[in-house]
Chain A
Amino acid sequence: MRSDGFLARLVSFVESGSFREEDYTLSPAQKDTLDTDIPENRWLHSVQHAEKPVGARLMSWFSQKGFELFRDLYRIASVFICVTLIGVLLSVVSFLPAFGSAENPAVNEVVERYVSKSIEETGATNAVAGMISAYRGFDTLGEAHVLFVAACSVIVLLRVDPSERKRGKLLDPDRVGGDMDYEPNSDLILRKAAKILVPLAFIFGLYVILNGTSSPGGGFSGGAIMGAGLILNSVAFGFKRTERFFGDEMYHAVKTACLTVYALLMAYFIYMGANGWDDHVWLGIPGGIVSGGLILPINIAVGFEVACTMYCFYALFRKGGL
C-alpha cells in the first residue's frame, strides 16, 4: 500500500496543494506499523501536519530539524565567540606596556629587592631560586602539591590491580597486543645508547638540582631530567630492570619522604619567620653548593618528587602501574 500510495499522495499534494482526508486515514494497526518504520513515518508526519495550522507545522518541522539546526548554529556561534575572544585579547595586548621597557609597571620595588638583596637575604646567587623557594616559598609548596595531586589523579584513572597485571590480564579481556606484549624490548641501538645516556642523565639531573641555588636550574628542572633518565632506562631495558630499584614501594617511599620533608622545612621556616624569631639556618657561602640555607634541601626534595611524578605518568600510561 505504501509504495504506490505515498507517491500518489505526493503527486496530488504537489498538484492541488492539499490532501483529501480519506487519502491517509489509516487503521490503528497500520499506524502502528508505520510508527515503527522510520523513514516513511517521517514523511507521513509531515503529510499529516500539512493540514494543521502554521504553528503546529512549524513545531513538527522544528522537532525534526531542530537538533541539526541547533548543532549548526552552535558551531557557528562557537567559532564566532572564539574569534571575538582572540580579537579582544590581541587588542588588549596592544594596550599593554612594552615588554622589557624600564618604565614598565612590573619594574618596581619588588623586583628591585629580589635582584639586589637576594644573595644577602637568601644566600642564593640564583635570584630565581631565592624567589621561588624562599621569598615565595609558600606558592611553590602549593605548586609541588599540584604535581602530587595530578599524579594521584592519574593513579586513580589508570592504575590496574597488580594481581590482574601479573596474570597478564588487563581490564579488557579481549585485548590483543599492546605495549606490554612487546616487553622486554631488545633494540640494540637503544640499549647501547641508553647505557651511556642513563647514568649521564642521572648525574646531570643531580648536578642541576644541587647547583640550583647558584646557577640556573633547581628542583623542578633537575627532577625532570632525572625522570627522563628513569623513563629512558625502562624504555631501553624493560620495566623489570627498572622495577628492581624503582617499584611501587620505592615510589611511595621517596615521594612521601620528599613531600613531608619539604612541608616540614617550609612549615618551620614560615612559623619562625611569621613569629619574628631567628630560624638558625646557616645560609652557607653564596655560590657554593651548600648555600641558600633551606633552598638546597628543598631543591633536593622537589627534584626527587618531580622525577617520581614524571616516571609515574609514563609507567601508568604504559602499563597501568608502577
Chain B
Amino acid sequence: MELVQNFPFITIVFSLTCGVFCAVLKGKKARGLCLVWLTLTTLMSFSVLLYTLKTGEYYIYRMGKWNAPWGNEIRVGVLEALMATAFSGVMLLSLLGGMHHIFADCEPEKTNLYFTMCSLLMSSLFALIYTNDLFTAYVFVEINTIASCALVMLKSSAKTLVATTRYLIMSLLGSGLFLLGIVILYGITGELLMPSIAEKVRTIFATGEYSLPLTVIIGLFSVGLAVKSALFPFHSWLPDAHGSATASSSAILSGLVLKGYIIVLIKIFYRVFGLEIIVSEQVSWFLFVFGALAMILGSVGALRERDLKRMLAYSSVAQVGYIYLGLGLHSELGVTAACVQILVHAITKPMLFIAAGGFMDVSGGHKSMDAIAGAGRRDPLGGLAFTVGALSMIGIPFFAGFVTKLELTAGALESGTVTTVMALIAIAVSTLLNALYYVPVIFNLFSAREQAEYKGLRVRYRADYAFATVAFVLLNIGFGAFSEYVVGAVRQGLALFGM
C-alpha cells in the first residue's frame, strides 16, 4: 500500500486530535495550529485526488486488522477525494476570510474553542465523505450536528442562542429519524456495511418480503437528512442560524455542513438501495417536487429579505433545492448535476458570506440593505467577490454557477416529458428570481447613495481577508473555465460509485 493511500485516514483521525489540542491552547496558537492543519489536509486530500485520478479506480482502506464486515473501512474514489479537497480548502478560506470577526465576536477565552469546533467539523465531514459504513456515518453525523450548533452559538448574543436552540432541535430530530432508519434497516438485513446491505436489500426487494419496512426506511432516511440539510418544508431553522452567526460560521454552515448530509443521502440512495429501488419507491418524485418548490420559494424568501445575510441564507435554501432537484431526476445526469452543484455551492456561498462580513466591517457592523449601500466602493475586494459570487449564483457563463444550470438542464431534458417541463420551468423561474434579488444588491453595493456616516470610509485590508476573497474569486472563475475537468472527474467518480 502506498503512503498516499493512508492520507484519508490521517485526515480524519488527526483532525480530531487537532481539535483536542485547540481546546487547551490559547486563541492565537489554536488559530495557527488549525490553519496549518487545514492546509495540510487540503494538500493531502489533493494528492489523494491526483492518485485516484491516475489509477482511475477506487480503493478500500481497512481501518484496522480486520476486513470490512467485522472491522471498519473507508472507501476512497475520485468523487470522495474531490469533495474532500474542495471542502477542506473552502474551510481554510472561510476561516481566513472571517478571522477578525471570529476574534471580535467570540468571548476572548473561548476563541480557541471555535477552532476546536472547526477541526472536529472538518473531521466529521471527511468521515461522512469517505465512510462506507452506515453506523460510522451516524457517529460522525452526531459530531457534525453538535459542532455546527456550537459554531452558531460561539457568537454570544440572544439572537444566536435562540437560533441555536431551533437549529439543535431540528437537527436532532433529523438525527433521530436517521438513526431509526439505520436500526430498522439493520433489523431486516443484519448488516451495516453499505455493499453488504445493498446485496441483502436487493434480495429482499426481489422477494417482496419487507416492502413496508423498506418504504418506511427510505422515507426516514430522506426526511431525516432533508431536515438536516434544510430542504424546503424543513428550512425554517436555516435563515436564523445562518443569518445571525459570525461570518465564518455562516460560510462553513452554508457551504459545507448542509452538503455533508446530502453526500450521505446520495451514498444511501445509490450505494445502499440502488437506482432501481429508489425509482420504484417513488421517493425521487418527492425529492424532485420539494427541490423545485425550494428553488422557487427559497428565492421568494430571499427576495423579501432586507437583511443581507438572511437573504444569502434564503438563497442557500434555493440552492439546496437545486441539489435535490438533480437527485430527483433519478438519472445519472441528474446525480452528476447534483454533485456538481454541491461543489459549486460549496465554493460560491462561503465567498458571498465572507464578502458580507467584509461589508459589515465598513458599515458599522450593520447588515441591512440601507447600511451596506455603497459598501462595494468602500471595500472593493469584497465588492468584487460579492459580484462574482452573485453572477455565479444567477448562472452567468464563465462562472461556476453556470455549470450547474447547464448540467441540470441536460439532466432535465433527458428525463420524461412531465419532469422535463417542470424542471425547466423551475430552473427558469429560479434563475429569474436569483437575478431579481442579486442584481439590485450589486447595484446597491456600488451605488453612490451611501449613508453619510460611512461615506469616504476606506477599508484597511487584512492579509487573510484579502487572500481569502481573491482565492475564492479565482476558484470560482477557474471552476467556470475548466468545468469540463471537474465534471469529468465527477462523472468518473460516480461511475466508481457503481452507478
Interface-facing stretch out of A11-19, A88-96, A235-243:
A88-96
11 interchain pairs, CB-CB under 8 A: A92-B216, A134-B65, A139-B135, A152-B113, A156-B154, A264-B17, A271-B6, A271-B9, A273-B62, A273-B63, A274-B9
Known: A139-B136, A143-B139, A270-B64. A156 touches B187 (CB 8 A): no
Interface residues of B in 149-203 (CB under 8 A from A): 149-150, 153-154, 180, 184, 186-191, 200
B16 touches A110 (CB 8 A): no
Known: A135-B70, A274-B64. A92 touches B147 (CB 8 A): no
* A-B pairs with beta carbons under 8 A, tally: 170
Q: Does A260 contact B (CB under 8 A)?
A: yes
Q: Does B446 contact A (CB under 8 A)?
A: no
Q: Does B448 contact A (CB under 8 A)?
A: no
| Interfacial chain A residues near B190, Cβ < 8 Å | 104-108, 110-111
B63 touches A263 (CB 8 A): no
Instruction: Give complex CA distance A255, B63 in Å.
Output: 24
Q: Does A97 contact B (CB under 8 A)?
A: yes
* Whole-angstrom distance between the Cβ of B361 and the nearest chain A Cβ: 24
Q: Does B66 contact A (CB under 8 A)?
A: yes
Partner of B65, one of A88, A143, A279: A279
| Interfacial chain A residues near B187, Cβ < 8 Å | 96-97, 105-106
A88 touches B188 (CB 8 A): no
* Whole-angstrom distance between the Cβ of A300 and the nearest chain B Cβ: 17
The 7 closest A-B pairs by CB, nearest first: A105-B190, A106-B190, A273-B65, A142-B139, A138-B72, A273-B64, A138-B63
| Interfacial chain A residues near B14, Cβ < 8 Å | 263, 267
Q: Does A209 contact B (CB under 8 A)?
A: no
B72 touches A146 (CB 8 A): no
Residue with the highest number of chain B CB atoms closer than 10 Å, among A88, A96, A156: A156
| Interfacial chain B residues near A114, Cβ < 8 Å | 70
Q: How many residues of A contact B (CB 8 A)?
A: 58
Known: A275-B1, A276-B1. A153 touches B213 (CB 8 A): no
B24 touches A145 (CB 8 A): no
Q: Does A56 contact B (CB under 8 A)?
A: no
Partner of B17, one of A111, A134, A263: A263
A106 touches B186 (CB 8 A): yes
| Interfacial chain B residues near A111, Cβ < 8 Å | 190
B191 touches A142 (CB 8 A): no
* Whole-angstrom distance between the Cβ of B137 and the nearest chain A Cβ: 10
B64 touches A138 (CB 8 A): yes
B127 touches A269 (CB 8 A): no
